[in-house]
Amino acid sequence: MSDLSQPLPLASDSTGTKRKSTAGASSSKRAKTSQSDPFADTKNAIQMVLASPESFVLPSGDGEYRKLVVSIAQYAKSLEGSVAVAGNGGIAPPPDKTPEQVSAEAERIINQINRGISKLMAWKPSCKTGSAKFALDGVCTDPRVFGSVLGLNDSPNFKTKKYTKEEFENLVGEITKDVRYDRLYLTSGVNVRYDSGTGEFKISGSYGKPAH
């Protein structure tokens, strides 16, 4: 019994004259197709099954049969991925990350936030009253990672949230800036906005000299 990956012989026509076989001419084409398309043999098998649903030949032996079923399952899975990409405007969804990968990426974003806000804390007259403003823009395309930045176990379920100074610094560390003869600190609650569709975030608040 033959494997489904081999083409079935073409049937004779009604006049009894056999059609000329093109196996030799097409074998090199099939070989080239197999190299560029990992599912070429699977597609051929599916076409033969659909062309002769009542008479196609099953592969011989459990090993060959199992191999065919696995290849069809893999092909179906690849089609699911193609449909998902097409439905997402051609943008593939982010691959699953391990908890360690999420944690590592979150730590990188946390460091960027801490350093970014500190760089924005320039001295200005309003620092004397602790009312100078900052606004940091950034991008984190994986909502799971940004959720980890905010101490969540999943993606943020909000677009805007306000944290107290203490809550925010518990997440990203104390934020200060040394200036001439003085040191600047966060002096208010911090607003966090996040767009899970684009990955853009904005963090804003006040800084300056702490009130005594």
* Segment 174-199, tens digit of pLDDT: 999 999 889 999 999 999 999 999 99
Same domain, 65 and 159: no
Average pLDDT over residues 80-102: 68
Domain count, the chain: 2
Over residues 197-207, mean pLDDT:
96
Same domain, yes or no: 180 and 138: yes
In a 3-state reduction of DSSP, which class is residue 164?
coil
C-alpha distances in angstroms, 133 versus 66, 155, 165, 172? 65, 28, 14, 18
Q: How confident is the model at residue 83 (pLDDT cuts 50, 70, 90)?
A: low
**Lowest model confidence (mean pLDDT) among 8-17, 86-95, 139-148:** 8-17
Do 89 and 28 belong to one domain? yes
pTM (whole model) above 0.85: no
pLDDT value at 168 more than 70: yes
Does residue 111 sit in the same domain as residue 181?
Answer: yes
Q: Does 122 share its domain with 200? A: yes
- Label residue 17 by pLDDT band (50, 70, 90): very low
> pLDDT value at position 140?
94
Pair 107, 179 in one domain: yes
CB-facing half-sphere around the CA of 30: CA atoms within 13 A: 14
pLDDT confidence of 65, banded at 50, 70, 90? confident
Spatial CA neighbour of 132 closest among 195, 194, 182, 173: 182
